[in-house]
Every structure is written in C-alpha cells, then in structure tokens.
C-alpha cells in the first residue's frame, strides 16, 4: 500500500552523512511507490514556537508566518513522518528543533494527528550509541504523546566527516527501513 511521507532533515550539510541516509531512504521509498515530501529544515527559515497558542486562528498552522507553514499541511496529510538529523552536542540540532516544536501547533489547533507512523534516522561522531539518546528519546516521547507508532530507527555512530557514512551500513539501513514500510 502506497503511503504519503514527510521526510524532515536537520543537517545544514547537503553532502553530509545524515543527508546521505535521507537520500537513500527517499530513493527506496519512492521506488516502492510512496509519495515523499522532503523538507530540509536547515535550509529554510523556521523559528521556534512562541507559545502564543493562536495556532490555526488564521488559515495557517502558525500565526508567525515562516517556512513551517509550508510543511505543516504535508505533516497533517502524512501517513509517515521521518526525522533525519545528525546529533549536535548530544541533542537535536537547532535547525530541525523549531519544526519539531512547532508540531505543537497541531495539538493546540485541535488537529487529529494520532495514528501516524514515525521513524528516526540519525548519526553521531562518537562510537558510543548512548550519544544518540539526546535525539532518540525526545523523538520517541513526541511520537508517544501524539499517539504515533515508531516504526523504525537508524542509529549510526562513528561518523563525522563528509563521506564517513559510506564506511558504515547507514545508507543500507535507511534503505532497509524504507523497504520495510
């Protein structure tokens, strides 16, 4: 069954390791017939949530108009939301955090977002898998809060420099994740 997916990336490096895994996931998902909307958060203008709670009081998800309002409709329509990002200082990169925080607008706006599927693709410089907990745990908790089903995680340690991902199974695991959907 074909699904509608949103892939939200959080790296500013277009040729970086998490981008390579996102590309591999998207290619495999498209080959399976899924419809993909890609949103490269680091290349867009998205601020953090201002907690004004005026969400959807206009025709848009957020009354503060920035690029989040271009991805919000796709998130609402998606069957699957995939977050891809590197770990920055043991946490979620600021470039994607604004998008994640602004999903709050859908809750405040009374939108039914329950029942979606969610996946995470991330990598970090260190070899210690626990380094990715600062990304993994918040995404898992957000999914649980929103009643989304976590359908997979690709967690790749030991990559820093452009191309390091090619020395790992990261792109293969991202492809396998897409093929499992």
* 134-157: pLDDT as tens digits: 999 999 999 999 999 999 999 999
Residue 130 pLDDT > 90, yes or no?
Answer: yes
What are the residue boundaries of the structural domains of the chain, listed by start? 4-180
Residue 165 pLDDT > 90, yes or no?
Answer: yes
Pairing of strands 80-86, 4-9: parallel
CB 117 within 8 A of CB 153: no
pLDDT at 59: 86
Nearest one of 110, 109, 97 to 61, comparing CA atoms: 109
Query: Residue 164 CB: number of other CB atoms within 10 A?
Result: 17
pLDDT at 51: 93
CB 68 within 8 A of CB 60: no
pLDDT tens-digit readout, 18-49: 999 999 999 999 999 999 999 999 999 999 99
Question: 66-73: long-range contacts (C-beta < 8 A, 24 or more apart)?
Answer: 68/98, 68/99, 68/102, 68/105, 70/39, 70/44, 71/6, 71/8, 71/37, 71/39, 71/44, 71/99, 72/102, 72/105, 72/106
pLDDT at 140: 98
Pairing of strands 80-86, 35-40: unpaired
Report CA-CA distances (Å) from 44 to 98, 130, 143, 144.
Answer: 11, 29, 23, 27
Q: Domain 4-180 in CATH: superfamily?
A: Flavodoxin domain (3.40.50.360)
CB 102 within 8 A of CB 49: yes
Give me the residue label for tokens 């390579």: 20
> What rounded mean pLDDT belongs to the chain?
97
pLDDT (mean) for 160-175: 97
Q: How far apart are the first and last CA of the chain?
A: 9
User: Quick check: pTM over 0.85?
Assistant: yes
Nearest one of 140, 144, 39, 150 to 98, comparing CA atoms: 39
pLDDT tens-digit readout, 56-111: 999 899 999 999 999 999 999 999 999 999 999 999 999 999 999 999 999 999 99
Report CA-CA distances (Å) from 74 to 27, 78, 105, 107.
Answer: 19, 6, 14, 15
């Amino acid at each position: 069954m074909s699904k509608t997916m949103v892939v939200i990336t959080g790296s500013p490096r277009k040729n970086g390791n998490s981008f390579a895994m996102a590309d591999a996931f998207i290619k495999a998902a498209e080959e399976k017939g899924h419809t993909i909307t890609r949103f490269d958060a680091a290349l867009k203008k998205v601020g953090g949530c201002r907690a004004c709670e005026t969400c959807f009081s206009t025709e848009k998800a957020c009354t503060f108009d920035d690029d989040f309002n271009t991805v919000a409709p796709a998130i609402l329509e998606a069957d699957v939301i995939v977050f891809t990002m590197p770990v920055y200082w043991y946490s979620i990169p600021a470039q994607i955090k604004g998008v994640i925080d602004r999903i709050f607008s859908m809750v405040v706006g009374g939108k039914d977002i329950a029942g979606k599927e969610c996946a995470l693709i991330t990598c970090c410089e260190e070899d210690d898998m626990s380094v990715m907990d600062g990304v993994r745990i918040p995404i898992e908790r957000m999914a649980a809060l929103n009643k989304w089903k976590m359908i997979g995680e690709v967690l790749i340690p030991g990559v820093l420099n452009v191309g390091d991902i090619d020395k790992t199974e990261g792109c293969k695991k991202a492809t396998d994740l897409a093929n499992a959907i």
